[in-house]
Chain A
Amino acid sequence: MNIVDHTINGSELTLTRTFDAPRELVWKAFTEPELIAKWWGPRGWNTKITTMEVKPGGVWHYCMVGPNGEEAWGLSTYKELNPPAKMIYTDAFCNAEGVINESMPQIDVVMDFIDVDGKTKIVSKSTYATEAELKTVVDMGMLPGITETWDRLAEHLQSV
């Protein structure tokens, strides 16, 4: 059960694993900041979450902080959300401001949560996103999403 199965088809990598928990709980573990922070980063690393907007076009901006203070920033953009069954997002490397590092690989991820007698089978399909796909994501409104977040943060800081 703790084995991750993987298959490769062209540029698509499929990972499968079954968890002894209902889908609703697994979905929560993916979409609630305080829960995902507990498992997303490598062991010994802490995940700090700047933004988590679980809605189509919304972004999840986070930083994994290593034992020696090293930082790895990531930005996911949700394309499709169908709780508790499916989420589609693009995962990218970025900086503290949420600006994507275009020289690093972008990954399109389709995550299916399948109910198997009360347990949850996760099927994760990752595909390398091309530059053209990245442009589409940006056009779809990811950058306005980030700007909106910074505006809100600025408002919040002024009101404190």
Chain B
Amino acid sequence: MDIFSALSEPTRRRILEMLSQTEHLTASEISDKFDVSAAAISQHLKVLREANLVTVEKRAQQRLYKLKPNGMTELESWVNQMTQVWKHRFDRLEQVLEAEKKKL
């Protein structure tokens, strides 16, 4: 799954927020905070891992989930790019509208 689809789900966004406030969490520490089943959380973690947003580290019997620091870059760069493109477009559109208004 791509990063945008991964981020479209509110539970997954909350998991990322939780991970951003701490060094790492186990799957059970995460699922304790939600009303949904552990299996559902495990599925969300799988999606986040596949979208390159979190990493998992095996330590003894535990699997520790961590936020991947550069995971957001793809989305952020898309947002910045789109905002720039539309700012320029809208500036030019404004000029076109002014010129067209004079013709009315």
Q: Tell me if A55 is interfacial: C-beta within 8 Å of chain B.
A: no
Contact of A29 among B8, B75, B83, B93 (CB under 8 A): B93
A19 in contact with B94 (CB, 8 Å)? yes
The answer to whether the Cβ of B23 comes within 8 Å of any Cβ in the partner chain is: no
Q: Is A10 in contact with B8, judged by CB distance below 8 angstroms?
A: yes
A4 touches B87 (CB 8 A): yes
What total of chain B residues lie within 8 Å of the partner, measured CB to CB? 30
How many contacts between A and B, using CB within 8 angstroms?
76
Does A17 lie within 8 Å of B90, measured CB to CB? yes
Q: What are the interface flags for B64-104 relative to A under an 8 Å C-beta threshold, 1 for contact and 0 otherwise? A: 00000000000100110011011111111111111011001
> Chain B at the A interface: mostly helix, strand, loop or mixed?
helix
B96 touches A130 (CB 8 A): no
In A11-45, the 8 Å CB interface with B consists of 11, 13, 15, 17, 19-21, 25-26, 28-29, 35, 38-40, 42-43
Chain B residues with CB under 8 A of A15: 82-83, 86
What are 16 A-B pairs at a CB distance below 8 A?
A4-B83, A4-B86, A6-B79, A13-B82, A15-B82, A15-B83, A19-B93, A20-B97, A21-B100, A25-B100, A25-B101, A38-B92, A39-B96, A42-B85, A43-B92, A105-B78
Q: What is the interface of chain B, defined by CB distance below 8 A to chain A?
A: 2, 4-5, 7-10, 13, 75, 78-79, 82-83, 85-98, 100-101, 104
